[in-house]
Amino acid sequence: MYDTKTFRSVTNTSNGEVSDDTLFHYHQQGNIVWAEYSGGSILKGFLLATVQPDNSLDMRYQHVNTQGELMTGICQSTPEWLADGRIRLHEQWQWTSGNHSSGESIIEEV
């Protein structure tokens, strides 16, 4: 379902570092999903997730931003299927580094 798909940010709360310049390249094997991401204020990032019975993702992420900071967090991503067949992910996330704030974002398959 997620394998070989590329996603781009559509919206993000102001305390997030992902922007529309950030691209996520997803892979899947069984119920394990991983991705590499970069762009905008993110130099290099990785995420690892498990696919839940409702196809949502229970995710952990880490990246290095352009300030050289290592940032980590947790995320729950819920899929929505768009009329054209692409996937939109609605994400609820929280930093496990820095100020530990939380936020919401949406990424869409490109």
**Structure letter (DSSP) for residue 25:** E
Core vs surface per residue 63-83: b (16+ CB within 10 A) or e: beeeeeeebebebbbebeeee
Instruction: Please state, in angstroms and as integers, the Cα–Cα distance from residue 80 to each residue in 7, 56, 85, 87, 109, following that order.
Output: 13, 10, 10, 6, 11
Identify the pLDDT of residue 60: 98
Give the predicted TM-score (pTM) of the model.
0.95
Dist. CA 38–CA 95, nearest whole Å: 17
pLDDT tens for residues 13-44? 999 999 999 999 999 999 999 999 999 999 99
pLDDT tens for residues 50-85? 999 999 999 999 999 999 999 999 999 999 999 999
Question: 6-109: which CATH number, 3.40.50.10860, 2.40.50.40, 3.40.228.10, 2.40.128.30?
Answer: 2.40.128.30
